[in-house]
Amino acid sequence: MKEIETKRLETKRLILRKFEESDYKGMFDNWASDYEVTKYIRFTPHKDFEDTKKVINRWINKYDASSFNWVV
């Protein structure tokens, strides 16, 4: 069976890539701490950067297990 993994996808106007631990600040500031955004997804708003770091690290550790989480 062919292995499936999160791969970088790129067009002229869009890049989808794997999360990196350094993405935590942008994720927290732009949407992970916002109730209006997170009410439509599967987790509650993050209280601080540490919450976001934990989520990103969990996603990074699952990349080898056919997990798909991209940064846009």
pTM of the model: 0.81
Q: 12 with 70: CB under 8 angstroms?
A: no
- C-alpha 20/C-alpha 22 separation (Å) is 5
Residue 41 in this model has a pLDDT that exceeds 80: yes
Residue 6 in this model has a pLDDT that exceeds 80: no
Q: Which residue has the higher pLDDT, 9 or 67?
A: 9
- Spatial CB neighbours of 69, under 8 Å, sequence gap ≥ 6: 6, 18, 19, 59, 62, 63
Q: What is the pLDDT of residues 13-26, one digit of tens each?
A: 999 999 999 999 99
- C-alpha 40/C-alpha 35 separation (Å) is 9
